[in-house]
Amino acid sequence: MAQRILMKGNEAIAEAAIRAGCRHYFGYPITPQTEIAAYMAKKMPKIGGVFLQAESEVASINMVYGAAAAGMRVMTSSSSPGISLKAEGLSYIAGSDVPALVVNVQRGGPGLGGIQPSQSDYFQATKGGGHGDYRMIVLAPASVQEMASLTIKGFNLADKYRMTSMILADGTIGQMMEPISFEDAEIEVYEKPWALTGTNCERKHNVVNSLYLKPEALEVTNFERYERYKIVEENEPMWEEYMMDDAEICVVAFGIASRVAKNAIVAARQEGIKVGLIRPITLWPFPKEALRKAADKVKGFISVELSMGQMIEDVRLYTQCKRPVGLCNRCGGMIPSPDEVLASIRNAEKGVF
Amino acid sequence: MDHKRLTLFAGHYGSGKTNIAVNYALALANEGKKVCIADLDIVNPYFRTADSSEQLKAAGVDLIVPQFANSNVDLPALPAEAYRLVEDRSSFGVMDIGGDDRGAYALGRYVPFIKKENDYRMIFVANCYRPLTQAPEDALEVMREIEAACGLQFTDIVNNSHLGPLTDVQTVLDSVDYTEKLSQLSGLPIYMTTVRSDLAPEISKHIPNVLPLLLQEKYFDLPDQKH
């Protein structure tokens, strides 16, 4: 049997990052992700890495920008309000085409909100957050094992496409404990000829920058960047299908909501309702094809979210509004119960979405 | 198992202190004792003693929780009534201390009372499957940090080694060597071994002093993880 350890979701992210070769962590404490920083503070000094608690979120994201420009595997982590503060840096990092890993262990919002779990930063993660035309790869773990495996995947994809990978988790997955293994970890290493590593007087200077004096040049850079994004959209969508083979109703849920949904689906199946789940693992790129195909065979969708309904817009978009899409949600730090999801499924069975 | 008037559970965060404190308080109540349990965790925002409040109330256990536990704010404030637990000697007291040395600072203010009464057990909760305490030496380091933070020495060890839903009898038996090593290094006895209740009968055949734990079902347990 694989050697297993019992980890909190937040610890799993930190340990996975270290195993992926991350030796630079810059952060600022905020509940409910503080264990990431605590773990890094304990381990980084022992392995010759850098743990630095910056003076603010803005400072920490710019330290990430600097270390990324130097070709390091680097990360920061925060929770919702802290990610808003990092938004400027996220845009600069995207505009400079350097790879980084950013973790958002979401809590209730808007504003200072609260410390209980939430998924209401979906728009912020998948549609921007910072200014300008850019995308981030957004990975949504639904277990502690995935907190680890998607962190490693996130570093790999960031280096491969020279962009930011965001782990979009929530407070519950950050805090809960499950046994995990690192046995299947696949760590990819990419050459970074663009990195600022010193020329040794042997090559031309590399420049990492997001400022373009000529609008024509900025436009071309954006066009080229979006060509790269197109490849990501073609190659990298990840999702899980659960009991979808004969499903007539499709629940769409990611992260913690998908776990609640699975319990509701098992209960609904016992009542004879044919219902399944599509769980997006990448929120960007969104698993469009899976949704498009499902729209051809199910009679409707239910989006289960810990928000006022954000992913539901993508569900409608990528099913081209062919079928009704209902919302089952709680917000502000509350989580839909399996019974609440089951009630939505029963309604859907009656044609009420 | 003999009981002291006060039982304190401390250890590395995520070692299982809260579950054990709740189950231990319930076990005392089952023996007909008057019991009070206090949540002194100023570190952990989720999964707290207060989650078991209904169960504790039903068993007649008096529960003291910080005002802001399970709320939407992260204020590490201790309830004034926690003094009741150390001062009211008519009741058995169980204290759930926050993780690591940072959590143990909260205990410091009660230590003079605890030492004066001198009828306590300060228990280190160990799980050899937790990443930062996988070696007995690392667990000992955490032990020493906690003692330095709160000013109270440990008196006993509880072996709570498990792998969540993957735990089987062998998982627990494999942890015996680790716990004995920790016991040797620290010079402290192993007070009990805590295991999920369905595993307790089998494990009791191999290990003395097993306390079966009733665990709360959580909304996020997956269909194949339920016991």
Question: Which ipTM value was assigned to this complex?
Answer: 0.90
Chain A contact residues (CB < 8 Å to B): 4-8, 11, 15, 31-32, 35, 39, 42, 108, 113-116, 143, 171-172, 175-179, 256, 259-260, 262-263, 266, 332-333, 335, 337-338
Q: Which residues pair with A53 in a beta bridge?
A: A27
- In a domain? residue B220: no
Q: Judge whether A280 and A286 are in contact, CB under 8 Å.
A: yes
**Main-chain phi, psi angles of A252, to 5 degrees:** -115, 125
CA dihedral A293, A301, A80, A334 (to 10 degrees): -150
| B116 inside domain | yes
Question: Is residue B225 in a domain?
Answer: no
Split into its structural domains, chain B has a count of 1
Distance CA B204, CA B39 (A): 29
Domain limits at B143? 6-215
Give A1's pLDDT tier (boundaries 50, 70, 90).
very low
Using CB atoms, pick whichever of B46, B130, B223 lies closest to residue A6. B130
Are A5 and B134 an interchain contact pair (Cβ–Cβ within 8 Å)?
yes
Over range A158-186, report the average pLDDT: 96
Query: How many contacts, defined by CB atoms under 8 Å, are there between A and B?
Result: 83
CB contact under 8 A, B162 and A35: no
Interchain proximity B72–A266, CB inside 8 Å: no
pLDDT range class, residue B226, cuts 50, 70, 90: low
Q: Which residues of B touch A259 (CB under 8 A)?
A: 219-222
Which of the residue ranges A28-37, A209-218, A332-341, B214-223 would you say has the lowest mean pLDDT?
Answer: B214-223
pLDDT at A17: 98
Q: In CATH, what number is assigned to the domain containing residue B54?
A: 3.40.50.300
Count Cβ neighbours within 10 Å for each residue of B24-44 and write b for 16 or more, e otherwise.
bbbbbbeeeeebbbbbbbbbb
Residues constituting chain B: 227
Angstrom distance (rounded) from CA A258 to CA A82: 25
Nearest chain B CA: its distance from A175 CA (Å) = 7
In a domain, B223, yes or no: no
Q: What is the set of domains in chain A, with CATH numbers?
A: 5-191+208-235 (3.40.50.970), 240-349 (3.40.50.920)
- Most B CBs within 10 Å, among A177, A180, A279, to test the B interface: A177
In a domain, B82, yes or no: yes
Query: Cβ separation of B131 and A15 shorter than 8 Å?
Result: yes
Instruction: Evaluate if residue B8 carries a pLDDT over 80.
Output: yes
CB contact under 8 A, A256 and B220: yes
Of the segments A141-150, B44-53, B70-79, which one has the largest average pLDDT value? A141-150
Q: What's the whole-model pTM score?
A: 0.94
Reported as a pLDDT band with limits 50, 70 and 90, residue B159 is very high
A293: Cβ contacts below 8 Å, ≥ 6 apart: none
Q: Is 70 exceeded by the pLDDT of residue A2?
A: no
Least confident stretch, A150-164, A265-279, B43-57, B142-156: B43-57
Residue A111, class by beta-carbon neighbours within 10 Å (0-12 exposed, 13-18 middle, 19+ buried)?
A: exposed
Inter-CA distances, B134 with A7, A247, B15, Å: 12, 44, 11
Residue B1 maps to a domain:
no
8 Å CB contact between A82 and A32? no
> How confident is the prediction for chain A on average, in pLDDT?
97
Identify the band that residue B69 occupies on the pLDDT scale cut at 50, 70 and 90: confident
B208 assigned to some structural domain: yes
**CA pair distance B63, B37, nearest whole angstrom:** 5
Peptide bond into A32 cis (omega under 30): yes
Whether B70 shows a pLDDT value over 80: the answer reads: no
Q: How far apart are CA A251 and CA A126, in angstroms?
A: 20
Binding-face residues of B in 51-80 toward A, CB within 8 A: 71-74
